[in-house]
Amino acid sequence: MNGGEVTKLETGIPGVDHIARGGLPRNRTTLVSGTAGSAKTVLAAQFLAEGILQYEQNGVFVTFEESIDDIRKNMLGFGWPIAQWESDGKWAFVDASPEPNEAMDVAGDFDLGALLARIEHAAKRIGAVRLSMDSLGAVFTQLRDSSIVRRELFRVAHSLRRLGLTSFLTAERTDEYGPIARFGVEEFVADNVVILRNILDDEKRRRTIEILKFRGTTHQKGEYPFTIVPNVGIVAIPLSAIELVQKSSDIRVTSGSVELDAMCSGGFFRDSIVLVSGATGTGKTLMATEFMKGGTDNGERSLLFAFEESREQLFRNASGWGIDYEDTERTGLLRVECNYPESAGLEDHLIRMKATIEEFRPNRVAVDSLSALERVSSNRGFREFIIGLTSFIKHQEIVGLFTSTTTTLMGGSSITEGHISTITDSIILLRYVETFGEMRRGLTVLKMRGSKHDKDIRELSIDNEGMHIKGPFRDVAGIISGNPHQVFRTESERLNGLFTSDES
């Protein structure tokens, strides 16, 4: 395995292998550097845990800092029974944590021969494939003489390869965007470097993982968000690493409204994402509701993520439009998931939504509304969420409908749309139209990828049977720009004449 092409060892840590294009360089050491609290120890432990759980690969954990009792306890929250694995001979500790009430002096030159002998002993005893060492900086504080420690750690790192171990070595850094690690650790294990960050971004904590380099092999570049999930561990979200391989089908499904289907030349495409954008009260939640009903009426499994209203509110509103959510949920075709946006970080929402989709296996998904989620995240985090969610939904070949609230009452756009409009396949605008002192609602299909669609701005009315799309507004101009005004018949004829005379 020395020389030649670098092969990879799948870590099994969700998302990480995708970013690492297959896993860690096999039989090599990879440095994981991060500030305090950046989840280095979790990553190191998870690397071994996934090896045991998924690949029947045993692992050695070398700790220089935390006591092994603490590690056993702390990792129980992720569902890793380390003590059990130890007695099964799958996991071995090499305990190099400092004894709290023991002084240590340094008198002359030394090496790390004992550490190496212990690692080798442990690795042979359980037949280890993986090794984690946490964290190198603590060796420097224990043994003080930096130049010797550096020389010796280099030797240890080198010997790990000889033992056929694929290893994660952690090291701490002081700045999120400063030198790679303290004590110049990167100089002796610099072949492969992974950086974990824990950044305060727009008052929100944001964890990211970045592969800085893999010598002799490829990886995805840049920072990818990750989150720590109870009973799972680290879950990285490889957003832009997601391949756009979704098949596009020309199978149409109903939007839940006969008139809207007609405007869209027969309905939405089965694997498309539809954005419904409008000011508050223009009928977005209703459209999502009709969309759900259209699905369940045809025997499709339909899933609604609601972030704006409580379950009770939502069910009551639906019954006001003549739709019985409760009854439909009992048939098993519908599931309504209500969550308060502030209840979790955006990454956690995304992971939960993915898990629900995977479990429920819906044919259609609605999210009402994306704007509510925008509140709990920075712009950048939100953009990544949108990309992550849309690509995931597209992969499942299901139709998705997202609603988005515009900030201004008349027309206008929101940040949401800036992020999402290029990703969505269809955009439906809902707008208020003021005519003769009366507020009316207008609906138009702004874009529909791969299909003809009605270009009219039609009137939308809402009653106790849901929504109805009527004829187009004829004598009003400037609706979409948010500045509707009356156009008198003679003037509209004149304008029409203007264009027809151009054509002739």
Partner 1 sequence: MKDYVLQLFVTGKTSRSQRAIDNIRRICSEHLGFDYKLTIVDVLESPQLAEDQKVLATPTLVKLMPPPVRRIVGDLSAADVVTAALDIRVENQEANP
Q: Strands 233-236 and 223-229, how do they pair?
A: antiparallel
Encoded tokens for 194: 């992974």
Say whether residue 96 binds partner 1 (CB under 8 A): yes
> Which residues 6+ apart lie within 8 Å of 500 measured at CB?
none
**Nearer CB in complex with partner 1: 112/276:** 112
The crossing angle, in degrees rounded to 10, of helices 136-143 and 146-162 is 140
Binding residue (CB under 8 A) for partner 1 from 4, 100, 107, 244: 107
Say whether residue 87 binds partner 1 (CB under 8 A): no
Say whether residue 65 binds partner 1 (CB under 8 A): no
- Catalytic annotation, pick one of 152, 172, 308, 374: 308
Say whether residue 304 binds partner 1 (CB under 8 A): no
**Nearer CB in complex with partner 1: 97/406:** 97
Minimum CB distance to partner 1, residue 228 (Å): 30
Binding residue (CB under 8 A) for partner 1 from 120, 223, 271, 368: 120
Sign of CA dihedral 89, 94, 100, 103: positive
Q: What is the CA radius of gyration of the chain?
A: 29
**Nearer CB in complex with partner 1: 169/428:** 169
Active-site residue 65, yes or no? yes
Segment near partner 1 (CB under 8 A); pick from 91-99, 211-219, 237-245, 258-266: 91-99
Say whether residue 94 binds partner 1 (CB under 8 A): yes
In eight-state DSSP terms, residue 222 is S
Binding residue (CB under 8 A) for partner 1 from 117, 251, 258, 439: 117
Encoded tokens for 227: 């989150």
**Nearer CB in complex with partner 1: 68/262:** 68
27: left (phi over 0), alpha (psi -120 to 50) or beta: left
What are the distances in angstroms from CA 106 to CA 19, 110, 115, 137? 43, 9, 16, 17
Count of residues interacting with partner 1 (CB under 8 A): 30
Minimum CB distance to partner 1, residue 100 (Å): 12
Minimum CB distance to partner 1, residue 69 (Å): 14
Active-site residue 10, yes or no? no
Q: Match 């990792």 to its residue by tokens.
A: 75
What are the distances in angstroms from CA 74 to CA 32, 67, 69, 230, 386? 20, 11, 9, 11, 33
Q: Count other Cβ atoms within 10 Å, centred on residue 87.
A: 9
**Nearer CB in complex with partner 1: 119/366:** 119
Residue window 133-172: x/- pattern of binding to partner 1, with contact defined by CB under 8 A: ------x--xx--------x--------------------
3-state secondary structure of 62: strand
Minimum CB distance to partner 1, residue 359 (Å): 45
Q: Compute the distance between CA of residue 303 and CA of residue 296 in angstroms, rounded to an integer.
A: 10
Angle CA(199)–CA(203)–CA(207) in degrees, nearest 5? Answer: 25
Say whether residue 114 binds partner 1 (CB under 8 A): yes
Q: Strands 334-338 and 302-306, how do they pair?
A: parallel
Of 466-495, binders to partner 1 (CB under 8 A) are: none
Minimum CB distance to partner 1, residue 136 (Å): 12
Q: Compute the distance between CA of residue 40 and CA of residue 172 in angstroms, rounded to an integer.
A: 9
Segment near partner 1 (CB under 8 A); pick from 111-119, 216-224, 306-314, 468-476: 111-119
Q: Compute the distance between CA of residue 32 and CA of residue 451 in angstroms, rounded to an integer.
A: 49
Say whether residue 131 binds partner 1 (CB under 8 A): no
Segment near partner 1 (CB under 8 A); pick from 15-23, 88-96, 168-176, 366-374: 88-96
Q: Which helix (H) or strand (E) holds 316?
A: helix 311-320
Segment near partner 1 (CB under 8 A); pick from 90-98, 300-308, 311-319, 341-349: 90-98
Minimum CB distance to partner 1, residue 41 (Å): 19
Q: Which helix (H) or strand (E) holds 379?
A: helix 379-395
Say whether residue 105 binds partner 1 (CB under 8 A): yes
Encoded tokens for 388: 């992550």
**Nearer CB in complex with partner 1: 114/258:** 114
Say whether residue 106 binds partner 1 (CB under 8 A): yes
Minimum CB distance to partner 1, residue 110 (Å): 4
> Which residues 6+ apart lie within 8 Å of 28 measured at CB?
6, 161, 166, 167, 191, 192, 215
- Where do contacts with partner 1 occur on this chain (CB under 8 A)? 94-97, 99, 101-118, 120-122, 139, 142-143, 152
Q: Which residues are catalytic?
A: 65, 308
